[in-house]
């Protein structure tokens, strides 16, 4: 089933019958326009070879860790990304670059994993940077305001 979710307050509403793409709770309580994000409780059909799978490759160059992601960053794989970011911080990373170009699909749990990773990095005095993602995933990052919260850098 497809639903709309507010990543600020957690409101979830049915996609069908929704009157808009802004969170009504945040509009009333916070007087802020917060976009709702489409979520699904089923696997994506976008990438037949990687349904429900996330591949992570980490390379280390001194205090800089580059984490390259490919596949699907979703409810099934979000914890794996969080653990990878925590491990990099534990290993003394001062900068983590999250290479997003290989992500075929990302749901709200994947987005939350990135935001929790950012918080963890801030607590451990580490910088988390993202590289641009594919159009659909980049659209999620833009519409949810993540672009304003995290630094982006060119791939490479």
DSSP state of 45: S
Q: Is residue 155 part of a domain?
A: no
Average pLDDT over residues 128-138: 89
Q: Are residues 63 and 113 both part of a single domain?
A: yes
Q: Are residues 88 and 141 both part of a single domain?
A: yes
Flag whether pLDDT at 44 surpasses 60. Answer: no
Looking up residue 57, the CATH number of its domain turns out to be 3.30.750.24
State residue 87's pLDDT score: 93
Q: Are residues 73 and 135 both part of a single domain?
A: yes
Q: Are residues 55 and 32 both part of a single domain?
A: no
Q: Are residues 79 and 109 both part of a single domain?
A: yes
Q: Are residues 136 and 86 both part of a single domain?
A: yes
DSSP state of 79: H
Q: Is residue 156 part of a domain?
A: no
Q: Alpha-carbon distance 49 to 32, whole Å?
A: 40
Flag whether pLDDT at 92 surpasses 60. Answer: yes
Flag whether pLDDT at 140 surpasses 70. Answer: yes
Q: Are residues 133 and 73 both part of a single domain?
A: yes
Q: Alpha-carbon distance 50 to 64, whole Å?
A: 28
Please tell me the number of Cα atoms within 13 Å of 50 on its side-chain side.
Answer: 18
Nearest to 77 by CA among 46, 102, 55: 55
Q: Is residue 34 part of a domain?
A: yes
Q: Are residues 27 and 63 both part of a single domain?
A: no
Q: Are residues 65 and 140 both part of a single domain?
A: yes
Q: Is residue 154 part of a domain?
A: no
| Percent of the chain whose pLDDT exceeds 90 | 42
Domain extent, residue 26, equals 2-40
The mean predicted confidence, pLDDT, of the chain is 81
Total number of domains constituting the chain? 2
State residue 47's pLDDT score: 37
Q: Are residues 87 and 127 both part of a single domain?
A: yes
Q: Are residues 74 and 17 both part of a single domain?
A: no
Flag whether pLDDT at 18 surpasses 60. Answer: no
Q: Are residues 60 and 91 both part of a single domain?
A: yes
Q: Is the pTM of this model over 0.85?
A: no
DSSP alpha helix (H) spans, the chain = 24-29, 78-90, 108-123, 135-143, 146-149
């Amino acid at each position: 089933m497809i639903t709309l979710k507010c990543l600020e307050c957690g409101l979830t509403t049915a996609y069908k019958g929704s009157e808009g793409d802004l969170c009504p709770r945040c509009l009333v309580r916070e007087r802020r326009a917060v976009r709702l994000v489409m979520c699904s409780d089923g696997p994506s059909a976008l990438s037949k070879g990687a349904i429900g799978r996330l591949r992570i490759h980490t390379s280390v160059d001194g205090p800089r860790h580059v984490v390259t992601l490919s596949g699907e960053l979703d409810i099934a794989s979000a914890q794996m990304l969080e653990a990878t970011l925590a491990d990099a911080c534990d290993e003394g990373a001062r900068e983590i670059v999250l290479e997003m170009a290989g992500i075929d699909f990302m749901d709200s749990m994947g987005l939350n994993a990135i935001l929790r990773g950012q918080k963890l990095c801030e607590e451990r005095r580490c910088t988390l940077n993202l590289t641009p993602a594919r159009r659909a995933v980049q659209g999620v990052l833009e519409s949810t305001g993540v672009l304003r919260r995290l630094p982006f850098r060119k791939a490479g």
